[in-house]
Structure 1
Amino acid sequence: MGETPAGTTSSTPEPQSPAEKLVTLEQRAVDEPRAIKVIVIGAGISGILAGIRLPQRIENLDLVIYEKNPEVGGTWYENRYPGVACDIPSHSYQASFEPNPSWSRFYAPGAEIGEYWKHVARKYGVYRYLQASRKVLEAKFDEARSKWTLKIQKLDTPEQEVFEDEADVLFGCIGALNEWKWPEIKGLHDFKGKLLHSANWEDGYEYAGKEVAVIGIGSSAIQIVPTMQKVVKKLDHYARGKTWIAMPIAGEFAEAKNPDGKDFNFSEADIEKFKKDPKHFYEYRRELEHELNSAHTITMRGSDLQKGAVEVFTENMKQKLASKPEVFKSLLPPFPPACRRLTPGPGYLEAIAKDNVNFISEEISYVTPDGLVTADGTARSVDAIICATGFDTTWTKRFPIIGRDGKPLSEKWRDHPDTYLSIATDGFPNYFMSLGPNSGVGTGSLTIVLEREVDYVCKAVQKIQRENIKTIEVKASSVRNFQKYCDAYFPGTVFSMKCRSWYKGGTYDGKVSALWPGSCLHAERVLSNPRWEDWEYEYINDSEHGWLGNGWTMADVKPEADRAYYLKHGIVDLPPVVV
């Protein structure tokens, strides 16, 4: 007993009759994971999580992570502008499995966030799979072989040569805000002073004592202005749009924990207590995330929380801009809070109320070699222009991603980026996305959603291995149904109201393409439980029974294996005893 019978590798049965079709069994045990290669594009937060979870959960895995930058971190590597910081609480912007008790501020500086994610990548071995300074130029699905083929450029070599690679599964961890762009202003590149973009900041540029212009009214500008205002001679803030400057997110909670600092700095005593008392830190973090995840009602039209936010935000802005009522009037939006991304902006309102800041709501007509000219004919000379004007948010202007029948993703998404649960789209087999269209959250923790997206992809790769699947592709009907759900959900939210927002691809009243149609917790629950019936499959050797293998298990064929594993302590599922 317990010995492997001879001849087990010759498992093809004799046909029962001449008319019966001969069936060839797959020569593998039913639980033997076949070799599989996964390529991850991007080493931001999603790519780092993929580099941790895929090797942890997938056996017989060949994993490569291609990153165009020299280091991991994604947006926290690329964004180095003055004042860059997280605009949600630091303790909610970290991995669930790697809590950091040492954040210096309630809204952590960008460099600190970047160091945290590098620490996570080092601790969990992500660098083993990383190929940095490698820019993907094209990804194409080879239908004949069911492989993704990639063209990749080496950015760190003089020749910048291009090579090819291929994988069974492609996981795009590219992100939504990755392709920065210059604003379309006549004469911008004729400017003779210093021209900078917030997403392509030049390290070492000394702006202290200079006259500068900051263009934009998004999150980056709201962080840049208060930082630069303190040290520049003059700051011209060109802000055509209107926006709500929110009270700090989870502000009451933050102030209760940090009553003495307007920037919500953690004292050394706070940090030491977090380190020495893990239970206290755990309770703090749980309480914070509970509060963040309780704010979803603010996104619903006509809700009491939405109405209350209008009153509170209006009064806060009015008070802080009392010395410049014309700025308050110019900045106050006609649309409700959260229609555009809500930004707490600590210090922003105080900064634009200072004497050395000119808040300019007039449209910029053109740029001269010396400065900017607005529509009313006023010319203002400056030493530097900082464009905090954002990113391309159309989802289609990255490298070409080419699916079945040679169809580019950019063509499929020309009118609207339709997906299934934000992670896949039909016509692109074995291709998954993190932070794809309709994946962002208006409130709550983004990082837990990213973790669940990575978990989903891990389960899909396990299914491919376990069931001898050649291709897994979401059904076109599943994509349509998810889009129908989005179309039904968003009209009841403030996101679909009339305001220009990157949530809607930079349009005024287009479809909401950046946000998940529901709460953060809704996304977490949905992504935790894949509905495999929403997908369609092709099988290796066209054999739907191939997943059964050859009638053996790995425990059968390994001499040292435990063949009574199902009785092992901790394996038996003990039901509750009813007395």
Structure 2
Amino acid sequence: MPTERGDLFSGSAIDAARPMRVVIIGAGFSGIIAGIRFLQKVRNVQLTIYEALPGIGGTWFVNKYPGIACDIPAHCYQLTFHEKTDWSAFYATGPEIQSYMESVVDKYNLRPFIKLEHRLTSAIYSEATGKWDLTIQRNNSNGDVELFEDRADVLFTGMGGLSRWKWPDIPGLQSFGGKIVHSAKWETGEGDPASPWEDTVRSWKDKKVGVIGVGSSAIQIVPSLANRVGHLTNYVRGKTWISSPFLGERAEKLGMGKQESNYVFTDKDKEAFKDPAYYKEFRRELESDLNSIHVITLKGHPVQEGGRAAFKADMLQRLATRPDISEHLIPDFAVGCRRLTPGPGYLEALCRENVEFNPTEIKQVLPNGIETVDGKINELDVIVCATGFDTSYQLGFPIIGRGGVQLSDKYTPHPKLYLSVAVDGFPNWFQSLGPNSAVGSGSLLIVIERQVDYAVEATLKLQREHLKSMEIKSEAVEDWDAYIEHHFAKTIFSERCRSWYKLGKYEGRVVALWPGSCLHAVRALEHPRWEDYTYEPLDGHSNRFFWAGNGTTVAEETPGADKAWYLSEVDVPPG
């Protein structure tokens, strides 16, 4: 029955684009991709990217430690739409990755939208307006700290799980009288930009250095320092698998030789990569291989068992001169329970005469060194804490949703959210690289791209249908939470091993990883289930067809516009 109230319907064309204010937090890969896609796909958008750091790159800007590199092949760690053919090595260095990210920002002209040294200090959802009220902190040129407010129709956060570093909880740490550094807070000098850490260690050639940790950072730092310092002690609390370089067999087939270390691409290789057809096939095969190893994460799978035997044999061979290290380092848990890293040169560095492997628990740090629980004291000049990040997803500032609910409460005792992108009680907010976003195998960047695409599609729905808010249903969150629990029970991640995947605990909820393969995440995010959301209409309209507007399109209301645009978008079937 037709309504008698014409004011219930929009007076604009059905495809008129309502203005949308989008604020992105973070200028790492997530923020960069989001900036590109929102500007590309959302008409009439006003966009700002706030970045707390003084440069873009996220974790690749923060981390400048010796030997920093990506632990998957460089050609698998780039965007689908912005390929780089001249990577210097099979595993790209941190500075090279950051340079790549700078090139992406410049190509897509994002710099005018990025505000560096602007830190989000609070985000509060307004139920009255359907917008996010944001407080931003920035440093003025005179050194004063200024707070100002902003407002967003859509808030997108891409802050990552490995962006908030922390000191280890070791008694006496700050009493140390020598130099102490953290892997994520490395002091760089003014030397070669390709190796910004070298100025720091130039004077360490006769020093006694202790490196605490056996995660991916320590595994890269130890071989980088071993031949540059007088003596190095690596303090290792747990066990870990050190793999041979990932996809080494594929690299050998491509004529790159046996991958026992990080292969440096030759001029001949780079010239071959200039052929678009060859390069695309090379990348496709490499990435296809990377996306094929998810089965290694399943308990009892033959690939898991075979990989375990192969990795153990490889580690024993590489530690042949130091079998005592093998006993302490080779795990009894499954391959991949902790993050697996290839670590070129790490095991070989442990076998050097000037390197000591110390698996005894640290009792305390003294003014002149480190004492372990067996009473042994190693005098040191430098301590390097390669001890990682705060992976609790507790952000240190308030994000407050509908009804005053705090995000920190939603993430206690473990994060509960929907498909890694949305949280009930927090309308019009989407995220990338939040809880349960990382992958145990496969390409992380394609997952980030799809999380961004999801947020863009949601924003277009808000814009197109004149919605004040969209909010994921609590029952959808509960169902996804149950799915996560069921999935990880079948995987090696549920075994007893200390990992940041499980909040740094030996056992418990897996909070960092997607519950499935990388390709599974891509498909799950591909077609949003809008029925899992609840909606509020904009301006209090009550008719669900308010979005249909005044019965016309923008083309009809615009002189000279193409009024047969659909002929340029024909989907011609094969045949």
Amino acid at match of 2:263: F
Structure 2 residue 238 is matched with structure 1 residue 241: yes
Q: Say if 1:34 and 1:557 are closer, same or farther in 2 by CA, change over 3 A.
A: same
In 2, Cα distance between equivalents of 1:351 and 1:156: 46
Which residue, out of 350, 353, 356, partners 1:352?
A: 350
Q: Residue 122 of structure 2 aligns with which residue?
A: 138
The answer to whether the 8 A contact 2:9-2:547 is kept is: no
Q: Residue 155 of structure 1 aligns with which residue?
A: 139
In 1, Cα distance between equivalents of 2:502 and 2:258: 39
In 2, Cα distance between equivalents of 1:27 and 1:481: 40
Q: Say if 1:146 and 1:563 are closer, same or farther in 2 by CA, change over 3 A.
A: same
Structure 2 residue 196 is matched with structure 1 residue 217: no
Q: Residue 268 of structure 1 aligns with which residue?
A: 267
The DSSP-based 3-state class of the residue aligned with 2:135 is: strand
Q: Residue 58 of structure 1 aligns with which residue?
A: 42
In 1, Cα distance between equivalents of 2:382 and 2:278: 47
Q: Say if 1:478 and 1:329 are closer, same or farther in 2 by CA, change over 3 A.
A: same
Structure 1 residue 113: Cα displacement: 0.4
In 2, Cα distance between equivalents of 1:390 and 1:529: 35
TM-score (norm 1): 0.94
Which residue, out of 172, 177, 182, partners 1:187?
A: 172
In 1, Cα distance between equivalents of 2:356 and 2:139: 41
Segments of structure 2 that go 5 or more residues without pairing to the other structure are 190-199
Which residue, out of 309, 314, 317, partners 2:315?
A: 317
Q: Say if 1:248 and 1:576 are closer, same or farther in 2 by CA, change over 3 A.
A: closer
In 2, Cα distance between equivalents of 1:118 and 1:231: 30
Q: Residue 229 of structure 1 aligns with which residue?
A: 226
Q: Residue 478 of structure 1 aligns with which residue?
A: 476
Q: How many residues align?
A: 558
Q: Residue 366 of structure 2 aligns with which residue?
A: 368
Alignment of 1:407-418 (within 5 A): 407-418=405-416
In 1, Cα distance between equivalents of 2:472 and 2:540: 19
Alignment of 1:131-530 (within 5 A): 131-155=115-139, 157=141, 158-204=143-189, 205-206=200-201, 207-256=204-253, 257-259=255-257, 262-275=261-274, 277-530=275-528
Amino acid at match of 1:551: G
Q: Residue 554 of structure 2 aligns with which residue?
A: 554
Q: Residue 4 of structure 1 aligns with which residue?
A: none
Structure 1 residue 289: Cα displacement: 0.6
Structure 1 residue 572: Cα displacement: 3.0
CA offset digits 1:145-202 (Å, max 9, x no partner): 1111111111353002111111110001100111100000000001011110001111
Structure 2 residue 54 is matched with structure 1 residue 70: yes
In 2, Cα distance between equivalents of 1:55 and 1:23: 32
In 2, Cα distance between equivalents of 1:357 and 1:550: 76
CA offset digits 1:10-37 (Å, max 9, x no partner): xxx9x97xxx666532222110010000
In 2, Cα distance between equivalents of 1:529 and 1:331: 44
The answer to whether the 8 A contact 1:146-1:168 is kept is: yes
In 2, Cα distance between equivalents of 1:491 and 1:481: 16
In 2, Cα distance between equivalents of 1:503 and 1:156: 38
The DSSP-based 3-state class of the residue aligned with 2:124 is: strand
The answer to whether the 8 A contact 1:540-1:546 is kept is: no
The DSSP-based 3-state class of the residue aligned with 1:163 is: strand
Q: Say if 1:103 and 1:399 are closer, same or farther in 2 by CA, change over 3 A.
A: same
Q: Residue 34 of structure 1 aligns with which residue?
A: 18
CA offset digits 1:282-340 (Å, max 9, x no partner): 11101101110111110010011100111111111111111111111000111110001
**Residues 499-508 or 54-63, more deviating:** 499-508
The answer to whether the 8 A contact 1:133-1:156 is kept is: no
Amino acid at match of 1:523: A
Structure 1 residue 541: Cα displacement: 2.2
Structure 2 residue 96 is matched with structure 1 residue 112: yes
In 1, Cα distance between equivalents of 2:94 and 2:140: 25
Amino acid at match of 2:378: R
Structure 1 residue 576: Cα displacement: 4.6
Structure 1 residue 565: Cα displacement: 2.7
Segments of structure 1 that go 5 or more residues without pairing to the other structure are 1-12
Q: Residue 28 of structure 2 aligns with which residue?
A: 44
Structure 2 residue 63 is matched with structure 1 residue 79: yes
The DSSP-based 3-state class of the residue aligned with 2:450 is: helix
Amino acid at match of 1:247: S
The answer to whether the 8 A contact 2:248-2:258 is kept is: no
The DSSP-based 3-state class of the residue aligned with 1:492 is: coil
In 1, Cα distance between equivalents of 2:187 and 2:232: 19
In 2, Cα distance between equivalents of 1:575 and 1:335: 52
Q: Say if 1:318 and 1:534 are closer, same or farther in 2 by CA, change over 3 A.
A: same
> Identity of paired residues, percent?
50
Amino acid at match of 2:427: P
Q: Residue 87 of structure 2 aligns with which residue?
A: 103
Structure 1 residue 507: Cα displacement: 1.3
TM-score (norm 2): 0.95
Amino acid at match of 2:64: R
In 2, Cα distance between equivalents of 1:541 and 1:519: 42
Structural RMSD (CA): 1.5
